[in-house]
Each structure stands twice: as structure tokens, then as C-alpha cells.
Structure 1
Amino acid sequence: MMKSAKGFTLIELIVVIILLSVLGAVSIGLFSAPSQYAVKLAADQWLSQFRFAQRLSFLKQSVSEPVALVVNQSSNNWNSVTRQGSSTLNTFNIEYDSVSVRESSSDFTSPCSALPNMAFPKTFYFDGYGNAVDASRNQLSTNQRICLIATNTVELCISPSGYAYEGSCLL
């Protein structure tokens, strides 16, 4: 006569593990506040706008008219407009939740909180080769450092070559 086995079968254990995984994945959002990811979300959207403007500059390939990304700030969002000359190529709104923006093109070592606030409207230019340029189409010689600050800080950098990335600007 066989004795009945005590314990759980492998299938029962796998089902319990799957249920715990699903419950954990669903409930993890309850432990985080929107302010914890507001800065990261805003930084990702700023970064995508910089990269999009640079790609448009490659596409348009104009020697005389750089692509301009103009960012304005209203009471609850940043409005970015990508233009070339008098043509509007793209508009995009970025919502912010108590996120402040600071910038510098010369201070790459101080903490972000020590940088001056960005003055709006702010315009970023890209020439036909994708380089970051000024309004006169002269290539910039230094990085542009942009910090988004709220409960945490995210740093963005635009190199003179026009490449925008998340992280500290190198000297």
C-alpha cells in the first residue's frame, strides 16, 4: 500500500509564484508617487525633442536656415516648437510637475542647483549637418548643460556636434 505524499506539487508551486509575481507587478505602482518619476519623464521628453530637431536638420539640409527648437514655459507645461525659417515643422507640449530647469554653457562642475534658471523662451539651433549652432549659424564651441530638478535631478547635455544625451557634460 502506498503512502500519500505530503506537500505541494510542482504545478501548485509554479502557480503560486506566478500569482505572487502578478500581484507584485500590479501593486508596485502604489508605492511610488508621480513626483518621483516626473523629472525623468520630463527629461526623456526634452531629450526626444532635441534629437528630433537634430534629425530634422539632417533631413532639411539647409545652409542658410538652421532648424530652431523654441521652448516656451506656461503655467503647467513647456511648449516646444520646431521651426525652420517661417515654417513650423513640429509642436509638442511637455507637462511638468514642479520641475525647474537650469542651464549653463560654461559651468560643468557645480551642482545643478547652483546653475541659473533657464530663461524662456529658449532657442536651440541645429545646422544642416546636425551641429549645435547659434542664431548666426556659428557652431558652438562648448557643451550646453541642462538640469531638470524636482525631488531628484536629471542632467542633459548637448555637445557642439548636436548630439543630446542624458548625463554629465564632459569638459
Structure 2
Amino acid sequence: MKPYVSGFTLVELVMVLVLLGVLSAIGSSLFARPDSFSALSARDQLQAMILLAQQRALANTSNSAVVLSVMQDNANWRFNLSQGTVSFKERQAPRHNATLSLNGSAFSNGQTSSFTFASDTSVGSNYQFVFSSETTHPLCLAASGFAYPATCQPDQLNLEGSFSVNRP
């Protein structure tokens, strides 16, 4: 009777090596090109700061304006949240050759745009941010103050007075 020998076959070992090679190639591409990751990271930072601005606006007891400022310099984007004379948070995200456009216009170094949140979190109109590197990462700040990672929807629907209900 032959003793039972356990182990891996050559085909199984080759398949494992091929899978490890593919996974390492995909994973290393994120670290080899930091600009593709920095644009996504900056969009997520801005979305988090908008959420914080909404919370500050809703909890506003001092009736001071809640202002979110977006600034760009040679190396970073800076997101600053303030209320009145108090500055709450400043976050920054490295640029790594990525670009930012606001409503179709490219941000330039030294440029600052500020957004004031009312007590109901509204900001007045839609703002379309697009962080770009190898891929684009859009972020919409809707007039209601809500931010979502997509392109802004056009304000085509004015539903006031467009429905009529016939009741017997």
C-alpha cells in the first residue's frame, strides 16, 4: 500500500504566483502615482468639511455666519471652516499635480473661494467641484447645502403649480 502524500501540485503553485503578481501590480500602481490618489482624497476631505459646515450651521446659536473656504497653493489644497471670528478646522490635501475646477473654471495658485451656509444649511446655488488627475472626481455642493460625489443635476424642475388634482 502506497503512503498518502499531501502537498500542492505544480499547477496550483503557478496559479498562486500569477495571482500574487497581478494583485501586487494593481496595488503598486496606487503608490507609484500619488496624483491619482490625491485627487480622490481631496474630494473626500472637502465633502467631510461640507458635512461639518452643515452641522455647525444647524447648531448655530450665535447667529454668526458659517463659512467654508477652499484655497489652493503650489503644493496643497486647504479647507478652512470658520464661524464669526472663530476658526474651527483647517484640513489640507496634497495636490501632487492634480487640478481643481469650480463650475468649469480652473483654480489657480493663491485662489480662494468661500461658501456661506445659512441656518438651514443652504448655500444659494449649486457648485460643481471637479478634482482631476488621471481620472476625474466630481463633487456637487447643492444649493440646499448637501454635498454628493457626482455631477450636479440641472435645476430644470420647477414643480410649483405644475400639478393639478381633480377630485370628485
Instruction: Give the shorter-chain TM-score range.
Output: 0.7 to 0.9
1:124 aligns with 2:133: no
In structure 1, the residue matched to 2:45 is: 45
CA offsets per residue over residues 140-164 of structure 1, 9 Å max, x none?
Answer: 1x42111111211111001111001
- Say which SS state the counterpart of residue 60 (structure 1) adopts: coil
Unaligned runs of 5+ in 2: 155-168
Structure 2 vs 1, CA of residues 127 and 100 (structure 1 numbering), >3 Å: closer, same or farther? same
CA distance in 2, matches of 1:129, 1:102: 26
C-alpha distance in 1, partners of 2:145/2:74?
29
Residue correspondences, number? 147
After superposition, give the CA deviation of every residue in 1:120-152 in whole Å (9 maximum; x if it has no partner): 2100111122222xxxxxxx1x42111111211
Letter in 2 for 1:70: S
- Aligned residues of 2:42 and 2:77 also touching (Cα < 8 A): no
Give aligned-pair identity as a percent: 21
Q: Could you state the TM-score of these two structures normalised by the residue count of structure 2? A: 0.72
Alignment CA distance shift 1:60-1:21 (3 Å): farther
Deviation, structure 1 residue 76: 0.8
**Pairing 1:150–2:149 present:** no
Distance 1:73 1:100 in 2: 10
Instruction: Tell me if structure 1 keeps the 8 A contact 2:38–2:93.
Output: no
User: How many Å apart are 1:66 and its aligned residue?
Assistant: 2.2
| Contact preservation (8 Å) 1:156, 1:164 | yes
- Give the Cα–Cα distance (whole angstroms) in 1 for the partners of residues 5 and 71 of structure 2: 68
RMSD across aligned positions (CA): 3.0
Unmatched runs of 5 consecutive residues or more in structure 1: 105-114, 133-139
Are 1:65 and 1:127, in contact at CA under 8 Å, matched by a contact in 2?
no
Displacement after TM superposition at 1:78 (Å): 1.8
Q: Once the 2 structures are TM-superposed, how far is the Cα of residue 24 of structure 1 from its aligned partner?
A: 7.1
